[in-house]
Structure 1
């Protein structure tokens, strides 16, 4: 049956990263790695095979558990987060399939922990993974920010819970899928950015490519440390 990222695509999830161009299949046989097909050795009970489609595919909880076990956090966290946000699974649906002794279990449990229904795009989920990888803590997703006088500025993709640091993750869809059109969305984003700066925030605007540039996250970490030092100093 189709499994892993191939199954996630069949379940209509959108991966942030694929990592492999091969079709992924699970079956009760030794693993095989062909030019276009990767076969995992899995013996699955009938209840973990979906009957929703015209071809056999692992159920969504089993699919997400498999991805968490065998793929990087950058692949698994966005997929799990999408399913959580849509209300199609809860965390226990996945973790109960991560049995002790399973290879990759520790990483898989971390993937579930890092995932959140609050992430509004796969890129935001990847950003959360990068925060973890670079030791950045305290970044809260989807926070409404106001000035000291109480005037609403906007909702940030991520804002630090203590330091005046905000991170916005800009994908193409953020502008071109806006109901008001890309020009109006860009104008609104620019105004929010200026309002945040005027309110004393350090703002990082990240493209998808920036998520893979270590210096960006080093700068975010420094900004948080500097802001916290100013508060305590």
Structure 2
């Protein structure tokens, strides 16, 4: 991701801009403050994630000895999917036993860090992927952790081998029991935040775990589909419909996409499977989706 050009107060002053002119630019909106003494052009449209990344870029080379970017901030630098998390604070971890603090724009954690729990991202010290996943699992709600953790395993599959050791290293830290339960549930085959949340809702609804991204083929081996969720024994396919595929401005594109989806579902049903779809809104009101899944199994004449 391209970061916006940053304008430092020290550089502005050195170039002849006065402090009064900087204050006027901030009031008028021609400059936007993203951190103390750090600005971007007022026309730059920064969402919270982009603003957090920009603020992180100002830390490089300024971290104290023993400080490492961690938690949500590390997740952003590693490229994890994040959803509904507080991005107002930069998170760093100091390699010491005490002395942590939480301020308006910075959360300093204190806990020992092993050398193998630190890596470099764009020259900055950052907690490793496995350590970051475990830290998120300890400190974030389950929904947010599953989204971030699934994306970490999807992008970095070998991380699964490192997670048991990362959990063992954190055995004395607060929230580690919750982290163990959550990490065990993570699955890199979930391809989007909506699929991750859907899988979690399926689990909490007491339904059997589905197969993920299973390829469906005809008896002759012709590829038909690769649905999000598949219950072979129940004869049911589940699809999270959270893609923005119906919002294209291209004339006729919506009708064409809907037509292709209908043909795809017809092909799936020709194999003897029922198809149940749900949307983002229904992920948060999953009871009706559960009922549709159970009804679909009944139509397929396979007991749920």
TM-score tier by shorter-chain length is 0.7 to 0.9
Q: Output the CA distance in 2 between the equivalents of 1:103 and 1:145.
A: 44
Which residue of 1 is the match for residue 182 of structure 2? Answer: 111
SS at match of 1:210: helix
CA shift digits 1:123-182 (9 cap, x unpaired): 2122111111211213111122346787653221101131122111123356779xxx96
Note if 1:133 corresponds to 2:204: yes
Q: Which runs of 5+ in 1 are unaligned?
A: none
Note if 1:5 corresponds to 2:72: yes
CA shift digits 1:91-145 (9 cap, x unpaired): 2312211123443233322323222232222221221111112112131111223
Give the alignment partner of residue 123 of structure 2, picking from 45, 49, 54: 54
Which residue of 1 is the match for residue 14 of structure 2? Answer: none
Give runs of aligned pairs for residues 24-35 of structure 1, distance below 5 A.
24-27=91-94, 28=96, 29-35=98-104
Shift of 1:88: 5.0
Note if 1:36 corresponds to 2:102: no
Residues 58, 152 of structure 1: alpha-carbon distance in 2 compared, 3 angstrom cutoff: closer
SS at match of 2:215: strand
State the aligned residue count: 228
Q: Output the CA distance in 1 between the equivalents of 2:102 and 2:272.
A: 54
Which residue of 2 is the match for residue 159 of structure 1? Answer: 230
Q: Is the 8 A contact 2:129 2:159 kept in 1?
A: no
Q: Is the 8 A contact 2:203 2:209 kept in 1?
A: no
Q: Output the CA distance in 2 between the equivalents of 1:6 and 1:96.
A: 22
Q: Which runs of 5+ in 2 are unaligned?
A: 1-67
Q: Output the CA distance in 2 between the equivalents of 1:227 and 1:19.
A: 40
Note if 1:201 corresponds to 2:253: no
Q: Is the 8 A contact 1:61 1:89 kept in 2?
A: no
Shift of 1:8: 0.8
Which residue of 1 is the match for residue 53 of structure 2? Answer: none
Which residue of 2 is the match for residue 95 of structure 1? Answer: 164
SS at match of 2:167: coil
Which residue of 2 is the match for residue 73 of structure 1? Answer: 142
SS at match of 2:238: strand
Q: Output the CA distance in 2 between the equivalents of 1:175 and 1:114.
A: 32
Residues 226, 39 of structure 1: alpha-carbon distance in 2 compared, 3 angstrom cutoff: farther
Q: Is the 8 A contact 2:214 2:226 kept in 1?
A: yes
